[in-house]
Protein backbone atom coordinates (compact mmCIF):
# COMPACT_ATOMS: atom_id res chain seq x y z
CA UNK A 1 0.00 0.00 0.00
CA UNK A 2 2.63 2.45 1.13
CA UNK A 3 4.53 1.99 -2.11
CA UNK A 4 1.81 3.89 -3.94
CA UNK A 5 2.46 7.13 -2.09
CA UNK A 6 6.24 6.91 -1.93
CA UNK A 7 8.26 9.29 -4.07
CA UNK A 8 9.87 7.27 -6.88
CA UNK A 9 13.41 6.28 -5.93
CA UNK A 10 16.29 7.76 -7.93
CA UNK A 11 16.80 4.46 -9.70
CA UNK A 12 13.37 4.62 -11.35
CA UNK A 13 13.99 8.07 -12.85
CA UNK A 14 16.15 8.58 -15.92
CA UNK A 15 19.56 9.84 -14.85
CA UNK A 16 22.28 10.86 -17.27
CA UNK A 17 25.65 10.69 -15.52
CA UNK A 18 28.43 12.78 -17.05
CA UNK A 19 31.85 12.31 -15.50
CA UNK A 20 35.18 13.67 -16.58
CA UNK A 21 38.27 15.65 -15.66
CA UNK A 22 38.39 19.30 -14.79
CA UNK A 23 37.81 21.83 -17.60
CA UNK A 24 36.55 19.17 -19.99
CA UNK A 25 33.42 21.23 -20.64
CA UNK A 26 31.16 18.92 -18.60
CA UNK A 27 29.32 21.79 -16.91
CA UNK A 28 28.36 23.58 -20.14
CA UNK A 29 27.43 20.38 -21.93
CA UNK A 30 25.49 18.89 -18.99
CA UNK A 31 23.56 22.12 -18.50
CA UNK A 32 22.55 22.29 -22.17
CA UNK A 33 21.51 18.63 -22.23
CA UNK A 34 19.38 19.18 -19.11
CA UNK A 35 17.74 22.24 -20.72
CA UNK A 36 17.08 20.38 -23.97
CA UNK A 37 15.40 17.50 -22.13
CA UNK A 38 13.68 19.62 -19.47
CA UNK A 39 15.58 17.64 -16.82
CA UNK A 40 16.96 18.82 -13.49
CA UNK A 41 20.69 19.44 -13.27
CA UNK A 42 23.20 18.53 -10.57
CA UNK A 43 26.58 20.25 -10.52
CA UNK A 44 28.16 17.95 -7.93
CA UNK A 45 31.50 19.77 -8.08
CA UNK A 46 29.75 22.87 -6.73
CA UNK A 47 28.91 20.95 -3.54
CA UNK A 48 32.60 20.19 -2.94
CA UNK A 49 33.49 23.79 -3.78
CA UNK A 50 30.80 25.04 -1.36
CA UNK A 51 32.04 22.70 1.36
CA UNK A 52 35.59 24.04 1.04
CA UNK A 53 34.34 27.63 1.03
CA UNK A 54 32.06 27.10 4.04
CA UNK A 55 34.94 25.43 5.91
CA UNK A 56 37.24 28.36 5.19
CA UNK A 57 34.56 30.79 6.38
CA UNK A 58 34.14 28.82 9.59
CA UNK A 59 37.94 28.87 9.99
CA UNK A 60 38.04 25.09 9.86
CA UNK A 61 41.31 23.63 8.57
CA UNK A 62 40.86 21.83 5.25
CA UNK A 63 42.91 18.97 6.71
CA UNK A 64 40.45 18.40 9.60
CA UNK A 65 38.29 15.70 7.99
CA UNK A 66 35.78 15.34 10.85
CA UNK A 67 35.09 19.07 11.01
CA UNK A 68 34.91 19.46 7.21
CA UNK A 69 32.46 16.53 6.99
CA UNK A 70 30.27 18.20 9.61
CA UNK A 71 30.32 21.38 7.52
CA UNK A 72 29.32 19.32 4.45
CA UNK A 73 26.41 17.74 6.34
CA UNK A 74 25.06 21.14 7.43
CA UNK A 75 25.59 23.10 4.17
CA UNK A 76 22.73 25.47 3.35
CA UNK A 77 22.74 25.62 -0.43
CA UNK A 78 20.41 26.83 -3.13
CA UNK A 79 20.83 26.52 -6.89
CA UNK A 80 18.92 28.98 -9.07
CA UNK A 81 19.72 28.68 -12.78
CA UNK A 82 23.49 29.16 -12.94
CA UNK A 83 23.65 30.94 -9.58
CA UNK A 84 24.77 29.18 -6.43
CA UNK A 85 23.91 30.40 -2.93
CA UNK A 86 25.57 29.50 0.36
CA UNK A 87 23.51 30.40 3.44
CA UNK A 88 21.52 32.84 1.31
CA UNK A 89 24.57 34.62 -0.21
CA UNK A 90 25.34 34.41 -3.93
CA UNK A 91 28.80 32.80 -4.13
CA UNK A 92 28.67 31.83 -7.83
CA UNK A 93 31.87 33.69 -8.74
CA UNK A 94 33.69 32.90 -5.53
CA UNK A 95 33.38 29.13 -5.94
CA UNK A 96 34.56 29.24 -9.56
CA UNK A 97 38.10 30.48 -8.89
CA UNK A 98 41.09 28.21 -9.47
CA UNK A 99 41.93 28.13 -5.75
CA UNK A 100 38.31 27.19 -4.91
CA UNK A 101 38.70 24.27 -7.34
CA UNK A 102 41.95 23.14 -5.75
CA UNK A 103 40.40 23.36 -2.25
CA UNK A 104 37.36 21.43 -3.48
CA UNK A 105 39.65 18.72 -4.82
CA UNK A 106 41.34 18.48 -1.39
CA UNK A 107 38.12 18.05 0.61
CA UNK A 108 36.70 15.74 -2.09
CA UNK A 109 39.47 13.23 -1.32
CA UNK A 110 38.04 12.73 2.22
CA UNK A 111 35.72 9.68 2.52
CA UNK A 112 33.52 11.17 5.25
CA UNK A 113 32.99 14.37 3.26
CA UNK A 114 31.86 12.29 0.27
CA UNK A 115 29.57 10.23 2.51
CA UNK A 116 28.07 13.42 3.97
CA UNK A 117 27.17 14.69 0.48
CA UNK A 118 25.86 11.43 -0.97
CA UNK A 119 22.15 11.61 -0.16
CA UNK A 120 22.05 15.34 -0.87
CA UNK A 121 23.19 14.56 -4.42
CA UNK A 122 20.67 11.74 -4.87
CA UNK A 123 17.87 14.06 -3.80
CA UNK A 124 18.38 16.00 -7.05
CA UNK A 125 16.90 13.09 -8.98
CA UNK A 126 13.35 14.27 -9.41
CA UNK A 127 10.70 13.91 -12.08
CA UNK A 128 11.11 14.00 -15.09
CA UNK A 129 14.83 13.18 -14.83
CA UNK A 130 18.32 14.40 -14.00
CA UNK A 131 21.57 15.25 -15.71
CA UNK A 132 24.37 14.98 -13.15
CA UNK A 133 27.97 16.03 -13.70
CA UNK A 134 31.04 15.21 -11.64
CA UNK A 135 33.64 12.50 -11.12
CA UNK A 136 31.68 9.64 -9.53
CA UNK A 137 28.15 10.15 -10.87
CA UNK A 138 28.13 6.86 -12.77
CA UNK A 139 30.24 4.86 -10.29
CA UNK A 140 28.94 5.83 -6.84
CA UNK A 141 26.10 8.34 -6.76
CA UNK A 142 23.93 7.00 -9.60
CA UNK A 143 25.32 3.55 -10.48
CA UNK A 144 21.97 2.71 -12.09
CA UNK A 145 22.07 5.73 -14.43
CA UNK A 146 20.31 5.14 -17.75
CA UNK A 147 23.22 6.68 -19.64
CA UNK A 148 26.81 7.13 -18.46
CA UNK A 149 29.25 9.35 -20.28
CA UNK A 150 32.95 9.90 -19.79
CA UNK A 151 33.52 13.35 -21.19
CA UNK A 152 37.12 14.32 -21.70
CA UNK A 153 39.56 16.33 -23.83
CA UNK A 154 43.33 16.58 -24.10
CA UNK A 155 45.04 18.46 -21.28
CA UNK A 156 46.16 21.12 -23.80
CA UNK A 157 42.61 21.71 -25.07
CA UNK A 158 41.27 21.88 -21.52
CA UNK A 159 44.01 24.29 -20.46
CA UNK A 160 43.27 26.58 -23.40
CA UNK A 161 39.56 26.65 -22.56
CA UNK A 162 40.31 27.34 -18.90
CA UNK A 163 42.75 30.11 -19.90
CA UNK A 164 40.11 31.74 -22.11
CA UNK A 165 37.57 31.62 -19.28
CA UNK A 166 40.06 33.25 -16.91
CA UNK A 167 40.90 35.98 -19.42
CA UNK A 168 37.21 36.64 -20.12
CA UNK A 169 36.70 37.17 -16.41
CA UNK A 170 39.50 39.75 -16.42
CA UNK A 171 42.12 37.53 -14.75
CA UNK A 172 45.62 37.19 -16.08
CA UNK A 173 47.17 33.74 -16.38
CA UNK A 174 49.70 31.92 -18.49
CA UNK A 175 49.08 28.66 -20.29
CA UNK A 176 52.02 26.87 -18.67
CA UNK A 177 50.64 27.51 -15.15
CA UNK A 178 47.12 26.47 -16.14
CA UNK A 179 48.43 23.18 -17.60
CA UNK A 180 50.38 22.59 -14.38
CA UNK A 181 47.31 23.16 -12.18
CA UNK A 182 45.12 20.93 -14.34
CA UNK A 183 47.68 18.14 -14.09
CA UNK A 184 47.83 18.45 -10.28
CA UNK A 185 44.04 18.26 -10.04
CA UNK A 186 43.78 15.38 -12.54
CA UNK A 187 46.38 13.49 -10.57
CA UNK A 188 44.58 13.98 -7.24
CA UNK A 189 41.08 13.27 -8.59
CA UNK A 190 42.21 10.16 -10.47
CA UNK A 191 44.50 8.56 -7.91
CA UNK A 192 42.61 9.07 -4.65
CA UNK A 193 41.48 5.83 -3.00
CA UNK A 194 37.84 6.87 -2.64
CA UNK A 195 35.55 7.38 -5.66
CA UNK A 196 38.37 8.24 -8.10
CA UNK A 197 37.66 9.63 -11.53
CA UNK A 198 37.69 6.74 -13.99
CA UNK A 199 36.21 5.70 -17.25
CA UNK A 200 33.65 3.00 -16.48
CA UNK A 201 33.29 0.05 -18.84
CA UNK A 202 29.62 0.90 -19.34
CA UNK A 203 30.28 4.59 -20.06
CA UNK A 204 30.24 6.14 -23.52
CA UNK A 205 33.47 7.98 -24.29
CA UNK A 206 33.02 11.52 -25.54
CA UNK A 207 36.26 13.29 -26.43
CA UNK A 208 35.66 17.00 -26.99
CA UNK A 209 39.22 17.92 -28.01
CA UNK A 210 38.14 18.53 -31.60
CA UNK A 211 34.41 19.18 -31.26
CA UNK A 212 32.33 22.08 -29.95
CA UNK A 213 30.10 22.02 -26.89
CA UNK A 214 27.05 22.01 -29.17
CA UNK A 215 28.34 18.99 -31.07
CA UNK A 216 28.89 17.19 -27.75
CA UNK A 217 25.31 18.03 -26.72
CA UNK A 218 23.99 16.68 -30.04
CA UNK A 219 25.93 13.45 -29.55
CA UNK A 220 24.48 12.95 -26.06
CA UNK A 221 20.94 13.71 -27.26
CA UNK A 222 21.48 11.12 -30.00
CA UNK A 223 22.42 8.48 -27.38
CA UNK A 224 19.42 9.48 -25.25
CA UNK A 225 17.14 8.94 -28.23
CA UNK A 226 18.83 5.75 -29.36
CA UNK A 227 18.46 4.23 -25.90
CA UNK A 228 14.84 5.43 -25.64
CA UNK A 229 15.61 7.22 -22.36
CA UNK A 230 12.88 9.76 -23.02
CA UNK A 231 9.70 9.24 -25.02
Based on CB atoms, which residue is closest to ligand DC, 7 or 115? 115
Given candidates 51, 134, 178, 216, which one binds ligand DC under the rule CB under 6 A?
134
Candidates 25, 34, 69, 101; binder of ligand DC (CB under 6 A) is 101
To ligand DC, the closest distance from the beta carbon of 195 in angstroms equals 7
Three-state DSSP string of 94-152: HHHCHHHHHHHHHHHCCHHHHHHHHHHHHCCCCCCCEEEEECCHHHHHCCCCCEEEEEE
Q: How far is the CB of 6 from ligand DC (least distance, A)?
A: 27
Which residue sits closest to ligand DC, CB atoms considered?
45
Q: Which of 13, 29, 33, 44 touches ligand DC by CB under 6 A? A: 44
Question: Which of 31, 32, 49, 148 touches ligand DC by CB under 6 A?
Answer: 49
Q: Is residue 158 part of the contact set for ligand DC (CB under 6 A)?
A: no
CA–CA dist 163, 157 (Å, integer): 10
Size of the site for ligand DC (CB under 6 A): 14
31 lies in the site for ligand DC, by CB under 6 A? no
Amino acid sequence: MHDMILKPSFSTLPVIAIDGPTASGKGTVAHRVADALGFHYLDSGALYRLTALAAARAEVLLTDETAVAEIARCLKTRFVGESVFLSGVDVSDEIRTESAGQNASLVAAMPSVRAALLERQRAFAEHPGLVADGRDMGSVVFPGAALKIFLTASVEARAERRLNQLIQKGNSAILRDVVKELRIRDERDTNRPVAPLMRLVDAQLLDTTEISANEAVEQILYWVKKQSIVN
